[in-house]
Structure 1
């Protein structure tokens, strides 16, 4: 009997001894067996690494590509509600049958000869790459899962490499040294292929790697940039593949970081597509990304789970008219810096609901409440889960109040499911 997608996901979760094992040897060996190196995945392959901003950059580049007549495929992680969200073709999630067929081929290849063990993420990445190779779109956009140099996505050479930001996160795997983190992210760079750097400041290790590989680098604030206009619109200036300066005016706010929007436009130009004004406006006005400043009535949901991302969320909320009260429904994994995240959000949050997250990396609501109390914050409720927190808060929410749901993909995913049932 053939396995369903849920069967495969359950199987992959338990088949490797650890959830995360960085390194390319095992993945590359299976990729070779699968024939993934026989020809390019797409006409243009873009790899996106960084601490924050990867998902929004992918979403905007994907939308811009489609608005300019390109067929697109994108691979991102993690997902919010359905695994299918990780692989999209022309903006639509992959069908179960596509994913299952990929898992079947990966399983056969890893057992063909000496068995090779793969993690959940590694098997999923190879299955996604197979599906993209079958379609061979104009533009394939691959989001790095963790780090860069040793991440499974890095088995594929890209035509354009993107590094969005570099900040502290995933210390258990990447350490606390920003120069070391930068070295890992810069592992996606390839000799002779252009790089787009979406931060005005990156560790020196990135610059060193650019020089070593003779990479044609395009820096935010140097080769391309953005500026906001008084009208609320913004302008982009960048360079074409030939090095000519290019400018677009009166672009709409996509509701996502403009640094990342500027990156997406610059990548498009380096893929040989000169961004057109009207197509770019249409794309940026219509882009959406679940779990990134996503509004459902008075509820704002964002997956920010480190201080750098939380500061951006706080800056966006600070631009809005202040509600009568803004309540933060917060759930944070044990390996994240809860105190720093709380400090970043505190200026725009008046009171908190602390919720627990399950699993080996989970942090209980009681533990989180202690961190909140240490920051002299008012804790309205301690709940065992995001769903329980939503169920408690929803009927108590008053006119003029807002809720920020934040702290983890897990927090936002569970809250979204609970909100959908509450709003039915």
Structure 2
């Protein structure tokens, strides 16, 4: 049944969504497509142009930068991403602003009415949320919608929408219980967002061949980083870089003296190429300004001595290890780590161990939680020094409160859950 007084509380709706399906993740498009058809979501495009972004890492960064650059060019843009850190409203943005409760509640009502039509359809939390988001975006008269795939690609709820431009950022192992460990097969799943004759962007130079082969097999034009578009960047944080790409007509275009956005430059270059293929004429000054101002909470987000990052697999950890600035002379590099049980903790620890002097491990609760003590054993097996363990990210921060010196730095990472918990409280800083 629809919850009583549903139209007055987003919180009630989110609680209700938790009860709709027996499992949290149930990949497939049949159920979500049925409800989308009942809602009329598949009758016409949700925006004049739709960019869909899949990949193992870099999806959120690519979406955020594409959104920011398009906004700066006065494009009416909406975006959908997941998960959120503090507020569910973070998942849907229109005109650069988080959506209000009222349209979300309206959207959930429409999803529920469609879902309950005979025969009734069961939806997961993510599927219902995706349908609500798509409905909200479809009502906004958008020039551009930028959508982030949740997990995989081919069977992800977002893939009920046809992309005008489809992006795969990176391919690496993650969510092994759902996508497996075969990189070529993971690539096939991510490439499931490609559409015949529509541009397919490959945002990494180390992509498995299965991704391009999928695009070529459906006659989708392939735009590969390092070939069709590129950037000149030495990887040194803070240094300007240049982008070279192709317009939708096939003409070459370049942008010079672009600022470091504080996010992966591969993803920035990919976002620019995606926008160019929607027909947007990228202006140098406007693009520079947008990249200077773009922000993405939980991605190398600095709060005083603390760097917060949601990275939770070896590929993301390697990027952190490369970009993390060393503490001032004499300072220690702490790491506060909390990871879910289905993640490759050993690969993450191995990537960051050379950069970390002392570790604090924290327990994440829940069905997929992992104990701090188990993380500590893995760190010690890699030769790391564990200072302490805590029952929660907040308790781990309390451990550090009495230990931080002014020249110390803390990398807090490993999960959206870890970062979200730390963002709910003031973080201790050395006096």
Relative to the length of structure 2, the TM-score reads 0.96
Aligned counterpart, 1:2: 5
Q: Which shifted more, 412-421 or 167-176? A: 412-421
Q: How do residues 210-221 of structure 1 correspond to structure 2 at under 5 angstroms?
A: 210-221=215-226
Question: Partners of 1:292 and 1:322 in 2: how far apart?
Answer: 25
Question: Partners of 1:106 and 1:34 in 2: how far apart?
Answer: 7
Matched, 1:384 2:387: no
Matched, 1:365 2:372: yes
SS of 1:43's equivalent? strand
Instruction: Report if the CA contact (8 A) 1:323-1:402 is conserved.
Output: no
Aligned counterpart, 2:335: 328
Question: Partners of 1:400 and 1:200 in 2: how far apart?
Answer: 37
SS of 1:419's equivalent? coil
Q: How do residues 171-190 of structure 1 correspond to structure 2 at under 5 angstroms?
A: 171-190=176-195
Question: Aligned pair in 2 of structure 1 residues 320, 243: CA closer, same or farther (>3 Å)?
Answer: farther
SS of 1:36's equivalent? coil
Aligned counterpart, 2:214: 209
Aligned counterpart, 2:48: 43
Query: By how many angstroms is 1:422 displaced?
Result: 8.6
Question: Aligned pair in 2 of structure 1 residues 377, 207: CA closer, same or farther (>3 Å)?
Answer: same
Aligned counterpart, 1:241: 248
Query: By how many angstroms is 1:91 displaced?
Result: 1.5
Query: By how many angstroms is 1:420 displaced?
Result: 5.8
Aligned counterpart, 2:141: 136
Question: Partners of 2:189 and 2:293 in 1: how far apart?
Answer: 33
The one of 416, 421, 424 aligned to 1:414: 421
Instruction: Report if the CA contact (8 A) 2:92-2:99 is conserved.
Output: yes
The one of 198, 202, 207 aligned to 2:203: 198
The one of 225, 230, 233 aligned to 1:225: 230
Question: Partners of 1:345 and 1:221 in 2: how far apart?
Answer: 27
Query: By how many angstroms is 1:365 displaced?
Result: 0.8
Instruction: Report if the CA contact (8 A) 2:164-2:199 is conserved.
Output: yes
Aligned counterpart, 1:19: 24
Question: Partners of 1:20 and 1:5 in 2: how far apart?
Answer: 22
User: Unaligned regions of 5+ residues in structure 2, if any?
Assistant: none
Q: Deviations over 1:93-112 (max 9, x none)?
A: 11111111111100000111
Aligned counterpart, 1:251: 258
The one of 388, 395, 403 aligned to 2:402: 395
Relative to the length of structure 1, the TM-score reads 0.97
Question: Partners of 1:377 and 1:28 in 2: how far apart?
Answer: 48
Query: By how many angstroms is 1:322 displaced?
Result: 6.1
Question: Partners of 1:110 and 1:2 in 2: how far apart?
Answer: 19
Question: Partners of 1:321 and 1:313 in 2: how far apart?
Answer: 18
Question: Partners of 1:380 and 1:420 in 2: how far apart?
Answer: 18
Matched, 1:312 2:319: yes
Q: Deviations over 1:166-192 (max 9, x none)?
A: 000000000000010000000000001
SS of 2:19's equivalent? helix
Matched, 1:340 2:347: yes
Matched, 1:282 2:285: no
Instruction: Report if the CA contact (8 A) 1:390-1:418 is conserved.
Output: no
Q: How do residues 14-93 of structure 1 correspond to structure 2 at under 5 angstroms?
A: 14-93=19-98
Q: Deviations over 1:15-68 (max 9, x none)?
A: 210000000000000000000012110011010000000000000000000011
User: Unaligned regions of 5+ residues in structure 1, if any?
Assistant: none
Residue-pair matches, total: 423
Question: Partners of 1:262 and 1:305 in 2: how far apart?
Answer: 23
Query: By how many angstroms is 1:92 displaced?
Result: 1.1
Aligned counterpart, 2:165: 160
Aligned counterpart, 1:112: 117
